[in-house]
Amino acid sequence: MKLPDRKKAYLLLEDGLMLEGTAIGHVGTTGGEICFNTGMTGYQEIYTDPSYYGQVVITTTAHIGNYGALDSEQESAHPQIKGLIVNDYSQVHSRYNATESLQAYLEKNKVTGIADLDTRMLVRHIRSKGAMNCVISSELDKEQLQAELDKIPSMAGLELASVVSTDKPYVLGEGNGIKVAVLDLGVKKSILSNLVDRGCECKVFPAKTSFEEIRAYQPDGYFLSNGPGDPAVMDYSVETAKAILEEGKAVFGICLGHQIIARTQGITTYKMHHGHRGLNHPVKNLTLGTSEITSQNHGFAITEKDVEKSKKVEATHINLNDNTIEGIKVKGKNAFSVQYHPEASPGPHDSRYLFDQFINNIKQ
């Protein structure tokens, strides 16, 4: 539906495509790398996932806002996206326990967006042209947008994990029997909940914490989290991960953590054409010969040929759409990682066995 009493807004892409729509959320100007998520539900979890920091997200489900916003469905303290693009936008919601409308939530958190666009066309455009920067504005004229777009840095070569990481260590599940040190590169709350629910006490450390400080916690295992940005420029975390692996205890990495573990073994990473983001990506477990439907959010991947040639790692999971590497284990070490998100809030939950695998590795 057309929103009453809302300003016009403009979207300008790096390749020159200009679209006019309706302003939603905070009136302002914003920009970042444009990407799309094909999930049919869970828009608030997407917007608050730290892995989306620096990005403008197209939520491809046609109708957005209809179930409002709920504090308990946040993956971090506030939205991490730089902007929002939707098709049909609702300022009213039907869920009785919603904290507020999506419009009120976006305004409160100063998230600028645009509605009434053909998101199907936009997704096809990005799939064809590849990821690129964009700018959204509900306050500037069309002629002023290019100057704003020129200010936005490329995601390639951008280090963002330390920007979204915690400022100081904190503990969840205090008193639980299994101690897990979490290197926070942009960790989601659902990941920590899955560990705590399995009897872990998690101490979460800032991204640039030294290995010596982390080891002083005397953990039983180590977890390297998801997060935003280019893994190729994160040498600081690679050195920390190398030291963690040398200790020989159980290690589990997800998404960016997976890429960092791969880099410790000489595997390079690359920027994907348009990335994987959604709740329905098919992955094959090469060890078990089974398949699982997964939640994914990544614009970088580890290099397939490097994994094939490597004597240090073995591929454990592949993407059935494009054969990219979705999981590895480090030979001779008690360490494994996956590119996708087994915590998958709101779902699917096919891959939550990986948390059990990590706990079993710690116990063994």
Kindly report the number of other CB atoms within 10 A of residue 238's CB atom.
Answer: 17
Closest of 302, 301, 275, 322 to residue 52, by C-alpha: 275
Place of tokens 């996708």: 340
The H or E element spanning position 84 is strand 83-85
CB 30 within 8 A of CB 82: yes
Distance between CA atoms of 103 and 92, rounded to whole angstroms? 9
Our answer to whether residue 35 is catalytic in this structure is no
Q: Give the gyration radius of the chain's Cα atoms.
A: 20
Please tell me whether the peptide bond between 348 and the residue prior to it is cis, using omega within 30 degrees of 0: yes
248 token code pair: 């020989």
28-51 burial: b if 16+ Cβ within 10 Å, else e: bbbbbbbbbbbbeebbbbbbbbbb
Phi (first) and psi of residue 354, to 5 degrees? -65, -30
Closest of 279, 257, 278 to residue 338, by C-alpha: 257
Our answer to whether residue 343 is catalytic in this structure is yes
CB 223 within 8 A of CB 196: no
Distance between CA atoms of 355 and 212, rounded to whole angstroms? 25
Q: Which of 93, 281, 317, 341 is catalytic?
A: 341
Q: At what angle do helices 235-247 and 256-264 cross, to 10 degrees?
A: 70
Q: Which of 45, 201, 292, 343 is catalytic?
A: 343
Residues across the chain: 364
239 CB burial (10 A radius; 0-12, 13-18, 19+): middle
Our answer to whether residue 258 is catalytic in this structure is no
Q: Which of 35, 125, 255, 326 is catalytic?
A: 255
Q: Which residues are catalytic?
A: 255, 341, 343
